[in-house]
Amino acid sequence: MSACLLVVPPLLKCTTGPLLGPAMLAGAAAAAGHDVDVLDLNALHLTGALGHGLPPGRMVGDHDRPVGLLRDVQRAYVAQMAAHLPADPGLLDEAPALTLPYAHAAIAAAADTLTATPWADRLDALLAGERRPDLVGISLLYAGQVLGAAVVTRLVRRRWPGVPVVWGGPHVTALRDEIARDARYGAAADGFVFGYAERTFVALLDAVGAGAPWPQAVVRAGAGVALDAEEDAAVLPRFDRLGVYASARRTLPAQASRGCAYGRCRFCTYPAVEGAYRALGLDGLEPIVRQAHALGGTIAFKDSLVLPARLDALAQQVAGRVPWAACTKLHASLDAARLRSLAAGGCATLEVGLETLTAEGQLLIDKRQPLGLLLGVLDAAESAGVGMVVNYMTGFPGADPGAEADALAQLRAELARRPGLLSVIEHNRFQLERRSPLGREPERWGLRVRGAWPWATVLAWEAAEARAAA
């Protein structure tokens, strides 16, 4: 048996419940006889700033959160990180502490100085409350956690010399090729894991316990290999320490599929990071439903895209015992009858990726969704009492800013015309992700890359003089 500490570093704007990835790894390890604890430093950071018992939000799922308060916490966190980083190069729209447009040396220097701050002392005190593990795993969703993870690695090496540290998660997976090529990433961790990794994680714990070589899918930086980890989506996630989450309503994560069934959006990295679409069995959902019900909580399905027929199956399985949320794609079959049936089965919130209403934008990203389709789904949701989260983006390459602003205003007007519809627009600006189709072939789409950095998955870009025909 091996003992492992899985760590979630700050900062994620998530207050309502645990992350699915670490919970799946903990469940897989427990089933194999290993001892794993999850230390969610992100949740502890947020509860320290926000307090416990925040009232539930308007939406179920990922959007059950105090947006304004979390924005203030993130702003303070960004300022704290930025104080240890070089001046903002000004090549990306988002805060550089979240996107990390810096060289390896700058990131390492910032982590070194951050390790000597009172903030790091508080993290170290939390580590001191844990017993010495045989392995520490750190899970990263995006670049904004890298500095926190680097500080945790330094604290672990200082507190528990000889304990190996392995990084994984979507952000690490998105950088797999760079990590395989460049040994400098090894300053951050002793090993890296790419993709869903339940089986590989168990094999790693077996090896650590036996003093045997690690599995090949646990990659050393610069080793020239970027193997996929082995998954086991059938394991039951283990949710521990739920009291560290700030909201009064606990939300448990679950999955009915992995990968994206659409998989064509040219701005998106899900196919590259998550792999091909595969539906999962629903047998393991029942214990999660029962636990959520006992907590008086909800369930958030973390699938990239739940197909309409799959939504029906989830509604039948949950049977209205807890409210739940899922992400789907606009589809004509999402009519009033179907949404009323989903609502009866507990569906409280659906998230859809509209992305843009401009014809040029839809052509660029290969996601054509006419206004009439959107309005039909909104009408159905209003009549069924299902809340809608509409993902929308502006700033697409070659887009007319005026046309984008008009289209966004039209969307806001349509939502306002439906006072019975609980709705939220999740508005973001386009970013060029290096693993997206646009990022892999920027010249094909009339883009020129102006900057790329080792820990950043987003690229700085500009429009080329002439745009190639799609």
Is 2's pLDDT higher than 70?
A: yes
Q: What is the 3-state secondary structure (H, E, C) of the chain?
A: CCEEEEEECCCCCCCCCCCHHHHHHHHHHHHCCCEEEEEEHHHHHHHHHHCCCECCCCCCCCCCCCHHHHHHHHHHHHHHHHCCCCCCCCCCCCCHHHHCCCCHHHHHHHHHHHCCCHHHHHHHHHHHCCCCCCEEEEECCCHHHHHHHHHHHHHHHHHCCCCCEEEECHHHHHCHHHHHHCHHHHHCCCEEECCCCHHHHHHHHHHHHHCCCCCCCEECCCCCCCCCCCCCCCCCCCCCCHHHCCECCCEEEECCEECCCCCCCCCCCHHHHHCCCEECCCCCHHHHHHHHHHHCCEEEECCCCCCHHHHHHHHHHHCCCCCEEEEECCCCCCCHHHHHHHHHCCEEEEEEEEECCCHHHHHHHCCCCCHHHHHHHHHHHHHHCCEEEEEEEECCCCCCHHHHHHHHHHHHHHHHCCCCCCEEEEEEECCEECCCHHHHCHHHHCEEEEECCCCCCEEEEEECCCCCCC
- Note the pLDDT tens digit of each residue in 111-145: 999 999 999 999 999 999 999 999 999 999 999 99
Is 467's pLDDT higher than 60?
A: no
- The sign of the CA dihedral 55, 59, 65, 69 is negative
In this predicted structure, what is the pLDDT of residue 249?
87
Say if CB 192 and CB 185 are below 8 A apart: yes
Is 470's pLDDT higher than 70?
A: no
Residues with Cβ < 8 Å from 36, sequence gap 6 or more?
Answer: 3, 4, 5, 6, 25, 26, 29, 30, 205, 238
**Pairing between strand 218-219 and 191-193?**
antiparallel
Residue from 429, 4, 442 nearest 208 by CA: 4
How crowded is residue 128: how many other Cβ atoms within 10 Å of its Cβ?
9
The first and second tokens of residue 153, run together, are: 């690695």
Q: Distance between CA atoms of 376 and 120, rounded to whole angstroms?
A: 51
**Residues 201-223, mean pLDDT to the nearest whole number:** 98
Is 469's pLDDT higher than 90?
A: no
- Note the pLDDT tens digit of each residue in 246-265: 887 899 999 999 999 999 99
Model confidence band, residue 53 (pLDDT cutoffs 50, 70, 90): confident
- Note the pLDDT tens digit of each residue in 15-27: 889 999 999 999 9
Is 102's pLDDT higher than 70?
A: yes
- Note the pLDDT tens digit of each residue in 343-380: 999 999 999 999 999 999 999 999 999 999 999 999 99
Residues with Cβ < 8 Å from 464, sequence gap 6 or more?
Answer: 443, 446, 447, 448
Is 468's pLDDT higher than 70?
A: no
Say if CB 266 and CB 297 are below 8 A apart: no
Is 466's pLDDT higher than 60?
A: no
Q: Distance between CA atoms of 418 and 392, rounded to whole angstroms?
A: 18
Q: Distance between CA atoms of 306 and 258, rounded to whole angstroms?
A: 10
Say if CB 398 and CB 356 are below 8 A apart: no
- Per-chain mean pLDDT for the chain: 96
CATH 3.20.20.70 corresponds to the domain 250-430:
yes
- Note the pLDDT tens digit of each residue in 78-87: 999 999 999 9
In this predicted structure, what is the pLDDT of residue 175?
98
Residue from 345, 337, 334, 431 nearest 388 by CA: 334
Instruction: Average the pLDDT over each of 88-92, 228-232, 237-241, 457-461 and give the range with the smallest value.
Output: 88-92
The first and second tokens of residue 195, run together, are: 């993709």
Model confidence band, residue 465 (pLDDT cutoffs 50, 70, 90): low
Q: Which residue has the higher pLDDT, 225 or 470?
A: 225
- Note the pLDDT tens digit of each residue in 143-198: 999 999 999 999 999 999 999 999 999 999 999 999 999 999 999 999 999 999 99
CATH 3.20.20.70 in the chain: give the residue spans: 250-430
Percent share of the chain, pLDDT over 90: 93
- Note the pLDDT tens digit of each residue in 388-407: 999 999 999 999 999 999 99
Q: Distance between CA atoms of 412 and 424, rounded to whole angstroms?
A: 9
